[in-house]
Chain A
């Protein structure tokens, strides 16, 4: 395996509603990531992640190319997935020896639509989508399955939410941050029982970009590159009724393949948009109590669709590069109720 590292990372401030269009949000973020890398354009490969349904307009990624710097023409690809999978595609290109450097970016503008309703268009188009179940209600089905299987309580969910938003106070990019009392959170009504509003991610607009580089190029670009020691992703069946929603076997398998258990973990950035999902993911990845989970505040503090997974990798890499962590795990998810999961292990040396 070739040595590949994240050498720079940048993200927008994720806000409830952006006045700017995607190119306007994305361009400064891409510029920042490129400048921080110190690597001169052109990159050997560029890859992005986004989806058209958020704004209800086809080909959003085509215009986003304006922000990437695609002249002279670049070797470029796009996944209709979270940007974490764009990073995976770029990592594969580098592994194949077809690139030494790559620019990866992702963006999502969820504010124009009713996101939980828009996400219902991801569901089986014959027997589920016609019922228009919203994403929050489906996450709530999963939350109950987990609560009842483990005997945990809604307090365990509120604690994740309170801790996440407390951590987010140190994250200038977060949408939601602050001190919340668990007892007060639990006094609030359910949004979709057993989930309360605080157990759910904020809906926001945002973008992120990072630069990957191989071997010596990475060493030259960055004092302390965040080396990708393992990366893998797996999908589960789509039918919710054919899965054990209280578990995440795809995360477990990806974690094993990525080598999570080969060493101690200092920091984990888990893409858990809903509070209970953090517990499911911790368990699937075998993360013990000593692991600092979501020091950025996680997706419960900022969840720009299609970028939030890539941001987990960027946040984990940042903590490696600034010396706060020696070994970190980053995770991204896609699809209803953690259907698809990616796990990335990063190390400082």
Chain B
């Protein structure tokens, strides 16, 4: 039934706090045109468009894909708009991939974006509700208690988060598109940065970015046109669970565990730590690296921090994680998940430039959203599945 799906074009914008030089249309076109160019294709070659972004309140445009129809060359074509909170960039890519896998289209353009500077992320994420009292301060306020719970439960050394942040910000120096490029970054700089939502420090927090990411996905028939070899989609998986219920495990959510399990099964992976060469995972606050290492089955529960500590997740480690600098270095929320998926594909296409992991053949892209409840993941490889 399922056709093979290949990533044949990848594009992203330069991510920054304020892309004052472009409109929303210009931002998404910048990424889309780079993806088309990478695939050696033009607008007319695209059969359908799949758009993803997080809450519409960021830009104050309701269902902005309608306004973007022209900018995405979508007139006369099918256009879908996905929204699954923070995981949306990943789920958008998965919807696009399933259009190819189902044999419905030959080439699909998928784009995810956020232009957060049009408003204020803290405001848009926590619009107050009448009759309720707002005591959770944005995403940091929500996730910080979970991090404290992880620290307490695992007994991880207190500087684990600092080490993650330092690694990702150093990696970002090798990524020309990254938002935060801080050559002066050091352990002390991260450690001495102010606590925002104690235990999360300023330098352990993702920025608020404007940015977009786009990919051209193709059927096997139409795959061999671009200059770079395709990345083949080996498996995709999505899982969701409710926001809050009695007995819920918030630190190591079951939805994430089961999503990873299904993903590895579909991809024929039995030993993820050994078989996956590089991973791009959604780490908006430094401590989520060890938390997700456990959730994804790379480390036993309570021991994810050791991977950071032992340098396993470093660019030259056994399982390099977030070689692009990750969400900690660029966070246009709606696009962040797709950036993870795209960076994974760039690695197996040998396209990652200075942050390329030598000889990467199998890569994981991961995104999560909501209250650690929405998960989307894919495995891409240089070889056909």
The interface of chain A, by Cβ under 8 A from chain B, is: 2, 46, 51-53, 56-59, 61-63, 65-66, 70-81, 85, 88-89, 92-93, 95-98, 118-119, 121-126, 129, 232-239, 242, 249-250, 253, 334-336, 339-340
| Contact yes or no, B80 A66, CB < 8 A | no
| Contact yes or no, A81 B80, CB < 8 A | yes
Q: How many A-B residue pairs have CB under 8 A?
A: 180
Q: Which of B43-87 contact A (CB under 8 A)?
A: 55-57, 59-70, 74-85
A2-B80 contact, Cβ under 8 Å, with A58-B125, A62-B85, A96-B101? no
| Contact yes or no, A59 B76, CB < 8 A | no
CB nearest to B92 among chain A residues: A77
| Contact yes or no, B254 A79, CB < 8 A | no
Contact with A along B237-251 (1 / 0, CB 8 A): 111111101000000
| Contact yes or no, A334 B63, CB < 8 A | yes
| Contact yes or no, B79 A340, CB < 8 A | yes
5 contacts between A and B (CB under 8 A): A80-B63, A85-B80, A89-B95, A98-B101, A233-B79
Residue of A61, A72, A89, A122 near B66 (CB, 8 A) is A122
Q: Which of B298-342 contact A (CB under 8 A)?
A: none
Does B283 belong to the interface (CB within 8 Å)?
Answer: no
| Contact yes or no, B76 A250, CB < 8 A | yes
Q: Which of B127-143 contact A (CB under 8 A)?
A: 127, 129
CB nearest to A63 among chain B residues: B243
Residue of A57, A71, A238, A334 near B127 (CB, 8 A) is A57
Residue of B102, B373, B374 near A96 (CB, 8 A) is B102
| Contact yes or no, A56 B127, CB < 8 A | yes
Q: Which of B227-272 contact A (CB under 8 A)?
A: 237-243, 245, 253-255, 258-259
Does B124 belong to the interface (CB within 8 Å)?
Answer: yes
| Contact yes or no, B84 A77, CB < 8 A | yes
How far, in Å, is A252 (CB) from chain B's closest CB? Answer: 10
CB nearest to B53 among chain A residues: A80
| Contact yes or no, B69 A65, CB < 8 A | no
| Contact yes or no, A80 B129, CB < 8 A | no
Question: Once the chains are docked, how many angstroms separate the CA of A74 from the CA of B237?
Answer: 10
Residue of A61, A239, A253 near B83 (CB, 8 A) is A61
Question: Which chain B residues lie closer than 8 Å to A51 at the CB level?
Answer: 56, 62-63
| Contact yes or no, A71 B82, CB < 8 A | no
Task: Tell me which of A2, A63, A96, A236 has the highest count of chain B C-beta atoms within 10 A of its own C-beta.
Answer: A96
CB nearest to A254 among chain B residues: B78
Question: Which chain B residues lie closer than 8 Å to A334 at the CB level?
Answer: 63, 66
How far, in Å, is B9 (CB) from chain A's closest CB? Answer: 21
Question: Once the chains are docked, how many angstroms separate the CA of A334 from the CA of B64?
Answer: 12
Question: Once the chains are docked, how many angstroms separate the CA of A80 from the CA of B334?
Answer: 13
Does B104 belong to the interface (CB within 8 Å)?
Answer: yes
Does B370 belong to the interface (CB within 8 Å)?
Answer: yes
Question: Which chain A residues lie closer than 8 Å to B104 at the CB level?
Answer: 92, 95
4 shortest interchain CB distances as A-B pairs? A97-B1, A95-B102, A73-B255, A96-B102
Question: Which chain B residues lie closer than 8 Å to A236 at the CB level?
Answer: 69, 75-76
Does B109 belong to the interface (CB within 8 Å)?
Answer: no
Question: Which chain B residues lie closer than 8 Å to A124 at the CB level?
Answer: 67
Question: Once the chains are docked, how many angstroms separate the CA of A53 from the CA of B67?
Answer: 16
| Contact yes or no, A76 B76, CB < 8 A | no
Does B91 belong to the interface (CB within 8 Å)?
Answer: yes
CB nearest to A233 among chain B residues: B78
Question: Once the chains are docked, how many angstroms separate the CA of A98 from the CA of B241?
Answer: 19
| Contact yes or no, B91 A77, CB < 8 A | yes
CB nearest to A97 among chain B residues: B1
| Contact yes or no, A77 B95, CB < 8 A | yes
Question: Once the chains are docked, how many angstroms separate the CA of A65 from the CA of B238?
Answer: 14
Residue of B59, B68, B127, B243 near A65 (CB, 8 A) is B243
| Contact yes or no, A78 B84, CB < 8 A | yes
| Contact yes or no, B63 A122, CB < 8 A | yes
Does B99 belong to the interface (CB within 8 Å)?
Answer: yes
| Contact yes or no, B1 A235, CB < 8 A | no
Residue of B63, B241, B370 near A71 (CB, 8 A) is B241
| Contact yes or no, A73 B62, CB < 8 A | no
| Contact yes or no, A70 B102, CB < 8 A | no
Question: Once the chains are docked, how many angstroms separate the CA of A81 from the CA of B66?
Answer: 10
Does B351 belong to the interface (CB within 8 Å)?
Answer: no
Question: Once the chains are docked, how many angstroms separate the CA of A345 from the CA of B127?
Answer: 41
Residue of A53, A242, A250 near B62 (CB, 8 A) is A53
| Contact yes or no, A81 B81, CB < 8 A | yes
Residue of B60, B78, B253, B374 near A125 (CB, 8 A) is B60
| Contact yes or no, A118 B242, CB < 8 A | no
Question: Which chain B residues lie closer than 8 Å to A97 at the CB level?
Answer: 1-2, 101-102
A80-B254 contact, Cβ under 8 Å, with A73-B239, A238-B67? no
| Contact yes or no, B239 A75, CB < 8 A | yes
| Contact yes or no, B370 A62, CB < 8 A | yes
How far, in Å, is B30 (CB) from chain A's closest CB? Answer: 17
CB nearest to B103 among chain A residues: A95
How far, in Å, is B285 (CB) from chain A's closest CB? Answer: 19
How far, in Å, is B28 (CB) from chain A's closest CB? Answer: 13
| Contact yes or no, A339 B243, CB < 8 A | no
Residue of A78, A98, A119 near B98 (CB, 8 A) is A98
Question: Once the chains are docked, how many angstroms separate the CA of A180 from the CA of B371?
Answer: 50
CB nearest to A82 among chain B residues: B63
Task: Tell me which of A2, A80, A81, A233 has the highest count of chain B C-beta atoms within 10 A of its own C-beta.
Answer: A80
Question: Once the chains are docked, how many angstroms separate the CA of A177 from the CA of B74?
Answer: 38
Question: Which chain A residues lie closer than 8 Å to B255 at the CB level?
Answer: 73
| Contact yes or no, A70 B129, CB < 8 A | no
| Contact yes or no, A339 B66, CB < 8 A | yes
Question: Once the chains are docked, how many angstroms separate the CA of A53 from the CA of B23?
Answer: 22
CB nearest to B59 among chain A residues: A125
Question: Once the chains are docked, how many angstroms separate the CA of A233 from the CA of B69?
Answer: 13
CB nearest to A339 among chain B residues: B66
Question: Which chain B residues lie closer than 8 Å to A52 at the CB level?
Answer: 55-57
How far, in Å, is B25 (CB) from chain A's closest CB? Answer: 9
Question: Which chain B residues lie closer than 8 Å to A126 at the CB level?
Answer: 23
Question: Once the chains are docked, how many angstroms separate the CA of A153 from the CA of B282?
Answer: 58
Question: Once the chains are docked, how many angstroms separate the CA of A236 from the CA of B67?
Answer: 10
Question: Which chain A residues lie closer than 8 Å to B82 at the CB level?
Answer: 77-80, 89
| Contact yes or no, A235 B63, CB < 8 A | no
Does B217 belong to the interface (CB within 8 Å)?
Answer: no
Question: Once the chains are docked, how many angstroms separate the CA of A63 from the CA of B242?
Answer: 7
How far, in Å, is A81 (CB) from chain B's closest CB? Answer: 5
Question: Which chain A residues lie closer than 8 Å to B68 at the CB level?
Answer: 238
Taking A85-B81, A96-B2, A235-B74 as known contacts, 10 extra A-B pairs with beta carbons closer than 8 A to each other, sorted by chain A number, are A51-B63, A53-B57, A72-B258, A73-B254, A75-B237, A79-B82, A80-B82, A89-B98, A235-B77, A238-B67
Residue of A79, A239, A242 near B80 (CB, 8 A) is A79
